[in-house]
Structures are given as C-alpha cells and as structure tokens.
A and B are shown apart, each in its own frame.
Chain A
Amino acid sequence: MDINLVYMVLFLAGIIGFAALNAAYLVWVERKGAARIQRRTGPSEVGFAGLLQPLADGAKLMSKQILFPDGIDKPLFMLAPMFAMIPAVMILVTIPFGPVGFGPFADFMLVAREMNIGLLMIFAFASVNVMALLLGGWSSKNKYAVISAARAVSQDIAYEIPMILIAITIVMTTGSMHLSTIVESQAGGFWNWNWLPLQGNLFGPVTFIIFFICSLAETNRAPFDLGEAESELIAGFHTEYSSMGFGLFFMGEYANIVIGAALTTILFLGGWLSPLPASIPFIGAPSVVWFLLKMYLLIWTVVLIRWTYPRVTLWSLLNLAWKIMIPFALVNLLGSAALIKILPMLGL
C-alpha cells in the first residue's frame, strides 16, 4: 500500500483521538480553572486531582438512555449532534500541526491531508456547525430550543463576516490559502508574524483580537453563549438531548475551541515557528511543541474569558459585530490592500 495513504489513515485516527482527548480534558481544565478562579478546589475525588473525572463522565454519558420526546422530527433530531462533531473532525484533518512528523514518517508534515484551499475548506465546514445548532433546536420541538437556535444563527452569521474579512486580509498578504504556506510566510522572527503589521496586515493586533473574538462567538462560548443561556433557555438547543446526543454537542464545542485556537495560531502567531532566533539550538527551531504551546495558551485565554465576563445581551452582541468589528475589518482590508502596494515601493 502507498505509505502516503497509511500515514493519512493513521493520522486521521490520531486526530479523532486528539479531538476526543481534548474534549475530555479541556472539560477538566475548565472545571479546575473555574474552581481556582472562584477559589474552590474543583474535581478532586476521582483519581489524583480529579484526573479520571472526564472518563467517569464519559462512561456515565454513554450508559444513559437516549430519550426521544413526543412529536420531534426524529431523523433531524439524530442528525444534529453528528453535524456538530463531524465538521470539527473534518477541519482538524487539514490543520497542519508541525513541520515534521515522527518516526518512520519524518519526511511528512504533521498533517493528515493538506490542501491548497485549506482555509476555504475550514470556513466551509465551520459554517456547518451553525446548521447543527439550528437543526438541533428546530427538530426538538421545544420553544426554548427554537429561540436558542434562532439566536445562534443570527449570532453566527454576524460573526462569520468579520472573521472571513480578516482571513481574506491574511490571504491577500500571504497570497495563499494553503495553511503551511501561510505559516512559512511568517518565518524570520516573531516580528514577521501576522499579528504585527510588518507583513502588510495594517491593523495587525486589532485584527488578531477581532479574529479571536469571532472564533469565540463562532464556537458559542461565553460571553457569547446566548444559544445556551441556561438562566433563560434551560440548555438552549440541546435541552432535549440526553446521553451521547448531548455528549456529541459537548465534544463538538470543545473540538471547535481547539480549531479556533489552532487557526488563530496559524494565521496570526506563526504556527509552529519559534519566537526565538533560529541560531539557538533546539528551542529556536520550528516544532510542533511551539504550535501546541501557542494553541493551549489561546485555549487558556478562552477558559479565562468564560469565567471573567458575564453573558452579553443579543442586542450588544450584534452591536459589537455590526458596528465595531465589521467596519474595522473592512477598513483593515482596504488599508492592507493599499499597504501591500506601498510596501514593495519602499523596498520592504
């Protein structure tokens, strides 16, 4: 068999494992982090420091009964959780984690299948996630779930626009939608990373923040978790889901956080490139460790944000997107286009 295919299948299995492991242990990180922020201890009974808690939760979820309320649209009801998880795994397929693989696969890049329209594919599949929320809420024949689905859709539409506008800016400055090309174009020190304007991204840090906020809103995380505002809508779109139906929604959410952080790392923080000069051996070299370090730092920020800010209202949520982020992203797009023309004239 072709070694390429073997590698792809192995990597795919690894990616699914990675997504599941992340989903399980990010819950632990989230609970433990929340506890420490509120000066509690958090999970501590199951295993050392509660480390086996995610496994116990998983076993509990899987052993529970799946309930189908009367009058629901059953095929859609069962399809929705899958739509939450499958696109997440599909996106992780194209995300490159590091420049080189391990062991017999040292010649390959640490990615299952990179494609030259990687960024486009990620946005295409990310929008399927909205459909999962819509179908989940709509098919469960529950008024809270329907309200939640409507909120989630208006929110995701509003936040996809600035996100894509900024992604277009990055594509313009690097001239590629190929994710590893985008990373390689940021080589040569951290001042060349896209979050600073040196590569032609006019409002570098601002776009980085906007993109990060949008990735939060896209994944329906606090403070943008209007879709599952538990104080108003019970549990939002997954009110009627039990057992692994709920479990898949949950895993999908955490997989989407990983994707959002990984994408932000690739587009703005130089992916697997080291912030230190290349002359320093080992830590100066690009490696998957740098990628994971940046990614988990962003994920920690996401967790911190959840336990810091109260939930925004739908009104201020849409205000933030339409009045602040979209104008900024548009101006940045135009300004960057001008800057790309001017920079070569200055000999940069």
Chain B
Amino acid sequence: MAGYFKSILTGTKSLVTGLKITQAEFFRKPITLQYPHEVLVMTPRYRGHIQLVKNPETGTHQCISCGLCQKGCPSGCITVRGEKREGVKGKVLVQYDLDFTTCSLCGQCIENCKPGAIEFSLEYNLASTRKEDFHYDLLARLEEQK
C-alpha cells in the first residue's frame, strides 16, 4: 500500500519536472536556421567541386597543363588540354573541363597537383534538372570570378 502512494507521489513529481523543463525551453532562443533566408558560412574544409586557384599576384591560374589530375582521376571526369605557344615557356592551358556528375570528390586531382593550381570550392547550393548543368568549364569560371 505504501508503494502505491509512493509511486503516485514520485510520478507526480517527475511529471511536474518534465513540464518545468519544456516550459523553460519554450522561452529560449531557437537554434535552427531558416535556410533560404539565413545561411551558415561554409567551413573552409568543405569539399565542393574543384576549381582553379586564382593567383593574387598574376590574377590568373597556376596550371601548367601537366595533366596529372586527369591521369589520377579514378572517375575520369577531368579533361585538361594545353598547347605550345610562341615565346611562352611551357604549355598554355586552353581547356579545363570537369564533369561533376561522375566526380566522387576523392581529391586525387588536388593531391596530384604539383603547383597547387586546383582546390575544393565551397559550393553547396547545387541543384538542376539537367545534367549538362554540372559540366563545368573551370577556365570560364575563373574568368567570371575576376
């Protein structure tokens, strides 16, 4: 019989404690973000699709068209083409295409890149109904960033 009344008392007490907690939480600030209106700053180590690094001194990319990124890519989603030009040492990059639909973001291309010409971008808002939208021309993208 004592257990009966004790269980009622402890039960009531725990119920009141629960109500106190929820009522206290009610007055605290929401911690969620209203996504399209508010966005977080993406952390620097986020892996978006790759992009060409812009050299702040020359204002252009640092790619030497060696093609190691293309060779190292397990998905074969990178196409690099460079050509010899008169009076210029080494090759000049004329095409850098990324097919992001097959990229697995492994980072082999970045590991392979001696001059450090490519990096992960912080793009995370990618959405489209056509897969052609994910075929990037990274050279043109670098031009746009200028």
Contacts and interface: CB of A to CB of B under 8 A. Distances in A.
Interface in A266-322: 301, 304-305, 307-309
A268 B50 CA distance: 69
B25 A36 contact: yes
Contacts of B23: 304
Contact of B30 (A33, A39, A304, A324): A39
A41 B22 contact: no
Interface majority SS (helix, strand, loop, mixed), chain B: helix
B15 A37 contact: no
Contacts of B22: 37, 304, 307-308
Contacts of A304: 19, 22-23, 26
Interface residues of B, number: 16
A305 B25 contact: no
Contacts of A324: 8
Interface in A212-238: none
Contacts of B8: 324
Interface in B19-33: 19, 21-23, 25-32
B34 interface: yes
B28 A39 contact: yes
A324 B12 CA distance: 12
B19 A305 contact: yes
B18 A36 contact: no
B35 to A, nearest CB: 11
Nearest to B25: A37
A39 B19 contact: no
B21 A40 contact: no
Interface of B: 8, 15, 18-19, 21-23, 25-32, 34
Interface of A: 33, 35-41, 44, 301, 304-305, 307-309, 324
Given A304-B19, A324-B8, 10 more contacts: A36-B25, A36-B27, A36-B30, A39-B28, A39-B29, A41-B30, A41-B34, A305-B19, A308-B21, A308-B22
